[in-house]
Structure 1
């Protein structure tokens, strides 16, 4: 169920039985010349929409956080980069408020790689409050299974672009790109390295993306996500 649709009275009633809140987290940034700036928002939003149809009576879905941290892609037009410190503090304050409101389980459904380091510290702080926290970074957590469907993953690559096409084919145009790979060592950082690593703002074989592949990815990952959520509830019940 979506929190935004509830009145305060309904919220009070719902939390008597629902103890889990899901917070979608994204990013506004370039995804090459072919994908929407909102790719990292659209994808978590679609996963959440589908999860609501399956387990909506057990999970309260919070309004999404559409901005995050993107140091590597900050030099590109359309990227709205929030500092890691500000982003971490903001997400922590949101989680803390849900805890104060009586929700003991939180799912951070993240759609952007640059957010991962910040969310790691947030998760530890929320756990110290007494919350049970599940973080989902879909392209990392389910990478092996993703590679069975899309062979050219990456930022704005085949997997992300396919997921966007499955939402709305007007949001991406894979005919504008091909396959961009980089041999740059990502462990080495230097000024504006993103312009070298990503070149045109993307990585991977985006030109091979299709809506059909995207639909297969959603169907496959939804089952794995449900398993992770059940694990969260199992731990919370102890």
Structure 2
């Protein structure tokens, strides 16, 4: 069910049977010379499209949060960085609004690594309000499975670039892009450190990406996401039984 296109009557009818909402969260930032700035929004959108086909009768698909926190990529043109505090508070207020509308299960489908620490705080606060949450960071949660299809993943690397190509080949290219390794452990922080961590604003072997790999990744991960959602509903049933 697509919240964006619902009217009031549709929403009120949906509230009678649905208590789970999925909020896509992304980022507008540099993704190398080869991937769209909106990569972290485009990929969650595609997941939502596929998940709606599978579970759209039980989940409200909310409009996305397109801007997030990206300290590391902030030095690169095209990155629109929101402070971690402002981002986290904004997402929390959105989720509170859904809770006030009767949603007790909230799925945060996060397409951007820089958002993770803020979302961890958000979900703790929501849990204290009695909201059950599931945060999906696909590039971390399913990394070992991803590497079976795209062995050299990264920021705009083989996995992300493949996923973008599978959406629309106009949004990414691979010819001559090459590959970058992250040359320094992320635990080191210094001004404009993201330039050192992400040469040309990407990591991984982007040149190895293909639309075919992207399609395989979507099919594989949609199944894993559905398993996680089913687990969330199982937790709900267990808690209700006491």
- Check whether TM > 0.5: yes
Q: Does 1:60 align with 2:60?
A: yes
Counterpart Cα distance in 2 of 1:103 and 1:231: 17
Q: Does 1:139 align with 2:156?
A: no
Q: Identify unmatched segments of 5+ residues in structure 1.
A: none
> Aligned residues, how many?
238
Q: SS at the partner of 2:133?
A: strand
- Counterparts of 1:68-217 in structure 2, within 5 Å, are 68-217=68-217
How big is the shift at 1:5?
1.4
Q: SS at the partner of 2:201?
A: coil
CA shift digits 1:32-60 (9 cap, x unpaired): 00000000000000000000011101100
The alignment's TM-score, normalised by the length of structure 2, stands at 0.97
- Counterparts of 1:37-52 in structure 2, within 5 Å, are 37-52=37-52
How big is the shift at 1:176?
3.7
User: Are the equivalent residues in 2 in contact too, given 1:70–1:81 (CA < 8 A)?
Assistant: yes
The alignment's TM-score, normalised by the length of structure 1, stands at 0.99
Q: Does 1:19 align with 2:19?
A: yes
Q: Identify unmatched segments of 5+ residues in structure 2.
A: none
Counterpart Cα distance in 1 of 2:182 and 2:67: 26
Counterpart Cα distance in 2 of 1:182 and 1:75: 16
How big is the shift at 1:183?
2.4
Q: SS at the partner of 2:191?
A: coil
User: Are the equivalent residues in 1 in contact too, given 2:149–2:213 (CA < 8 A)?
Assistant: yes
Counterpart Cα distance in 2 of 1:17 and 1:73: 42
User: Are the equivalent residues in 2 in contact too, given 1:27–1:112 (CA < 8 A)?
Assistant: yes
User: Are the equivalent residues in 1 in contact too, given 2:183–2:196 (CA < 8 A)?
Assistant: no
Counterpart Cα distance in 2 of 1:88 and 1:137: 16
User: Are the equivalent residues in 2 in contact too, given 1:107–1:135 (CA < 8 A)?
Assistant: yes
- Specify the alignment match of 1:6 in structure 2: 6
CA shift digits 1:110-158 (9 cap, x unpaired): 0000000000000001111111100000000000100000011000000
- Specify the alignment match of 1:34 in structure 2: 34
Counterpart Cα distance in 2 of 1:185 and 1:55: 39
Q: SS at the partner of 1:23?
A: strand
Counterpart Cα distance in 1 of 2:124 and 2:52: 27
How big is the shift at 1:236?
1.1
